[in-house]
């Protein structure tokens, strides 16, 4: 028997800004669950959660392992465009993400998750067998298309099963999977790249994907929309997706080439960059004015707390991926760490803090019933950590490096698990899928900018700081300086010390750049308001057996 229609309630939110007397009331319509008591977290829920955790682990493992292997990949394939190994994945993931919310609404969470895992596995196979850089980049594009769904769907499914007010701890557990993947990915990626077997980084994704796929097929028994395939396709905003994909590609190409292949003032940089930014403005106009089923619910951006939450998400992703990709450069080029040691000892501080403190931050939101203090703490700690990173030099001790990472990891862990609270609190639960798709899009888009900005700053600084004698010894000049990291031990003094000092100074400017970006995020957070969090979920989505149970109780 079908469940009774949900009730519609008008709810007033008391949003606090600053002191207790300064409140703002927002009135909105919400569809509430007709069940008087929320379902218990039974075996079905935890099996589904395990499936989501394995999927999240897979995406994070691949991201960190490939970052560790970049010097080896660049050297082995003798590739100038090594930055596209990271950018192509992030770009494809970014392009796929806006569509995932619409696909999840039209076809259901389960089918989209299965499709994403299969596409990811196909991309990993292409990468592992790639004979050259062009083939590797093509494989990374395919991988990124699947990775977009893998990153987005767990947050959407979790929002269907757990009310926002209770979600901090569960998101913290996913954060533990993320940090565990960073630690293991760094060690395994470093070990494989150090022994010249970087291709196995991609092949290792296959058994992990098989496990995740088996768990999703076996246990992800959630609601599936009815209707024909063609009718579901018509619900998707194809025009909007084309505009955002083209605009994102144009921006990424410009940022990747700027200052390395062509000067910043070159038409080959300015035309795609300006065109891409103009395309994003056009995308917003299309979504707001013309799209019948918009990819992104811009009408939900009427509240400044949601807007600031999205902006903070973009900046935090930019900062995190930049550090994950380019901190190993410092460890290998300046400290002489092997890839394995850079992956293990080098990321020890981060792996010990991001996940565990993510849980602490999530639980703190649940206990305090407020997210602003935790987000403020996260930005403050991130600023301190990045500030400490700017003081690192060639002779910095391993203990100092790990200690600075601990500080940075606490801040990133706090932000990772709490930034979706200000995004979702002001919007109705029925908009969760599209709101979270945009959330993950901005997180992925931030990664595109983080990878490309880091590469641009690093390479441009090396162009000016590396000794002429060293640059002339490279096959393609400074564009292949990244590939020379592994050969530094073979350089004679004082040239070796001069090169390491050049890398240290170049990395320092990368951290200064990221520090300025983090300061922007911390400043905008001051305008964020405290909005009461939802205590219920959307009754249209959830575990099938629990939805049937609610229906039976309502009929009785």
Res 554: pLDDT:
44
CA distance 376 to 395: 33
CA distance 477 to 481: 7
| Inter-residue contact 294 to 243 (CB < 8 Å) | no
* Across 90-119, average pLDDT: 81
Task: Provide the phi-psi class of 11: left if phi over 0, else alpha when psi is between -120 and 50, else beta.
Answer: beta
pLDDT at 548 over 70: no
User: Do the beta carbons of residue 318 and residue 376 sit within 8 Å?
Assistant: no
DSSP-based three-state secondary structure for 442: helix
* Packing angle, helices 205-219 and 43-77, rounded to 10: 160
C-alpha–C-alpha distance, residues 222 and 370, integer Å = 30
> Token pair for residue 197?
């077997």
Predicted confidence at residue 517, as pLDDT, reads 94
CA 218 vs. chain centroid, Å, equals 27
Q: What angle do CA 451, 452, 454 make, to 5 degrees?
A: 70
Rounded alpha-carbon distances, angstroms, from residue 419 to 18, 93, 174, 526: 19, 20, 14, 14
Flag whether pLDDT at 387 surpasses 90: yes
470 Cβ contact list (under 8 Å, min separation 6): 484, 491, 495, 498, 499
What DSSP string runs through 264-310?
TTSHHHHHHHHHHHHHHHHHHHIIIII-SS-SS-GGGGGSHHHHHHH
CB crowding 168-183: b at 16 or more within 10 Å, else e: bbbbbbbbbbbbbbbb
Strand (E) or helix (H) holding 400:
helix 398-418
pLDDT per position as a tens digit, 161-182: 888 777 777 777 777 777 777 7
pLDDT tens digits for 58-87? Answer: 877 877 778 777 777 777 776 656 667 777
Cis peptide leading into residue 494 (ω within 30°) = yes
Report which DSSP code applies to 4.
P
Q: Which residues contact 239 (CB under 8 A, 6 or more apart)?
A: 286, 291
Q: Check whether 28 has a pLDDT greater than 70.
A: no
- Best CA proximity match to 495, nearest among 476, 462, 459, 468: 468
Task: Please report which confidence band the pLDDT of residue 379 belongs to, taking 50, 70 and 90 as the band edges.
Answer: very high
CA-to-CA distance for 528 and 526, rounded, in angstroms? 6
pLDDT at 26: 38
Q: Is 225 exposed, middle or buried (0-12, 13-18, 19+ CB in 10 A)?
A: middle
Structure tokens at 61: 């493992």
Nearby residues of 230 by Cβ (< 8 Å), 6 or more positions away: none
Residues 211-223 pLDDT 10s = 888 888 888 777 6
62-76, 112-126, 134-148, 229-243: segment of lowest average pLDDT: 62-76
What is residue 542's predicted lDDT score, i.e. its pLDDT?
53
Q: State residue 145's pLDDT score.
A: 86
Backbone angles phi, psi at 163, to 5 degrees: -60, 150
Q: Which of 534, 459, 540 is closest to 163 using CA atoms? A: 534
Residue 493: its pLDDT value, please? 83
Is residue 381 very low, low, confident or very high in pLDDT (cuts 50, 70, 90)?
A: very high
Angstrom CA distances, 439 to 10, 405, 524, stand at 26, 26, 17
Q: pLDDT tens-digit profile of 491-545?
A: 788 888 888 898 899 999 999 999 999 999 999 988 998 888 776 565 555 555 5
Which letter, b or e, does each residue of 453-492 get, where b requires 16 or more Cβ atoms within 10 Å of its Cβ? Answer: bbbbbbbbbbbebbeeebbeebeeebbbbbbbbbebeebe
Q: Which token pair is 539?
A: 């009754």
- Summarize pLDDT for 243-278 with one digit per residue, the tens: 887 887 888 778 767 766 777 788 988 999 899 999
Q: Mean pLDDT across the chain, nearest whole number?
A: 77
CA distance 245 to 253: 12
Residues facing 530 on adjacent strands: 16
Given a cut of 50, whether residue 8 has pLDDT beyond it is no
Read off the pLDDT of each residue in 404-416 and give the average, rounded to a whole number. Answer: 88
Q: Which residues are bridge partners to 28 per DSSP? A: 11
In this structure, the chain runs to a length of 556
Q: What is the pTM of this model?
A: 0.74
Q: Tell me how far CA of residue 318 lies from CA of 88, 355, 427, in angstroms.
A: 15, 18, 25
Q: What is the pLDDT of residues 295-313, one digit of tens each?
A: 776 766 778 888 899 999 9
């Amino acid at each position: 028997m079908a469940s009774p229609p949900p009730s519609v309630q008008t709810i007033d939110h008391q949003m606090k800004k600053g002191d207790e007397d300064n409140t703002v009331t927002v009135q909105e319509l919400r569809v509430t669950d007709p069940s008087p008591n929320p379902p218990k977290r039974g075996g079905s829920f935890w099996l589904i959660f395990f499936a989501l955790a394995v999927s999240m682990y897979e995406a994070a493992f691949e991201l960190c392992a490939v970052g560790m292997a970049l010097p080896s990949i660049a050297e082995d394939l003798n590739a100038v465009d090594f930055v596209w190994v990271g950018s192509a994945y992030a770009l494809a993931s970014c392009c796929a993400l806006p569509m995932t919310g619409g696909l999840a609404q039209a076809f259901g969470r389960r089918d989209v998750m299965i499709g994403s895992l299969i596409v990811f596995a196909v991309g990993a196979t292409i990468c592992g067998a790639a004979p050259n850089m062009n083939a590797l980049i093509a494989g990374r594009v395919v991988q990124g298309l699947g990775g977009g769904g893998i990153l987005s769907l767990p947050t959407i499914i979790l929002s269907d099963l757990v009310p926002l007010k209770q979600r901090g701890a569960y998101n913290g557990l996913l954060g533990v999977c993320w940090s565990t993947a960073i630690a293991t990915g760094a060690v395994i990626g470093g070990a494989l790249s150090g022994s010249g077997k970087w291709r196995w980084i991609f092949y290792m994704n296959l058994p992990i994907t098989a496990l995740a796929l088996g768990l999703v097929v076996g246990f992800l028994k959630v609601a599936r929309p009815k209707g024909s395939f063609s009718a579901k396709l018509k619900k998707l905003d194809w025009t909007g997706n084309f505009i955002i994909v083209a605009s994102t590609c144009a921006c990424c190409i410009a940022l990747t080439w700027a200052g390395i292949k062509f000067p910043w003032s070159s038409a080959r940089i300015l035309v795609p960059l300006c065109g891409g930014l103009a395309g994003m403005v056009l995308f917003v106009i299309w979504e707001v004015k013309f799209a019948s089923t918009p990819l992104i619910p811009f009408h939900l951006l009427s509240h400044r707390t949601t807007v600031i939450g999205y902006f903070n998400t973009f900046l935090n992703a930019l900062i995190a991926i930049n550090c994950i990709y380019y901190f190993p450069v410092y460890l290998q080029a300046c400290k002489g760490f092997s890839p394995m040691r850079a992956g293990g000892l080098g990321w020890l501080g981060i792996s010990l803090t991001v996940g565990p403190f993510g849980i602490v931050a999530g639980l703190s939101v649940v206990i305090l019933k407020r997210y602003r203090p935790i987000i403020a703490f996260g930005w403050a700690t991130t600023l301190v950590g990045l500030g400490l990173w700017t003081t690192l030099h060639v002779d910095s001790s391993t203990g100092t490096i790990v200690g600075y990472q601990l500080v940075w990891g606490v801040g990133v862990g706090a932000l990772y698990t709490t930034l979706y609270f200000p995004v979702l609190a002001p919007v109705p639960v029925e908009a969760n899928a599209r709101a979270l798709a945009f959330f993950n899009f901005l997180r992925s888009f931030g990664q595109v900018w983080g990878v490309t900005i880091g590469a641009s700053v690093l390479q441009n600084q090396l162009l000016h700081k590396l000794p002429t004698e060293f640059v002339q010894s490279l096959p393609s000049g400074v564009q292949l300086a990244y590939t020379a990291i592994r050969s530094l031990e073979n350089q004679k003094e004082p040239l070796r010390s001069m090169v390491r000092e050049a890398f240290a100074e170049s990395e320092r400017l990368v951290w200064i750049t990221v520090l300025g970006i983090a300061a922007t995020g911390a400043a905008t957070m001051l305008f964020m308001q405290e909005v009461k969090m939802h205590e219920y979920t959307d009754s249209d989505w959830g575990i099938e057996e629990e939805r049937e149970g609610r229906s039976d109780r309502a009929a009785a």
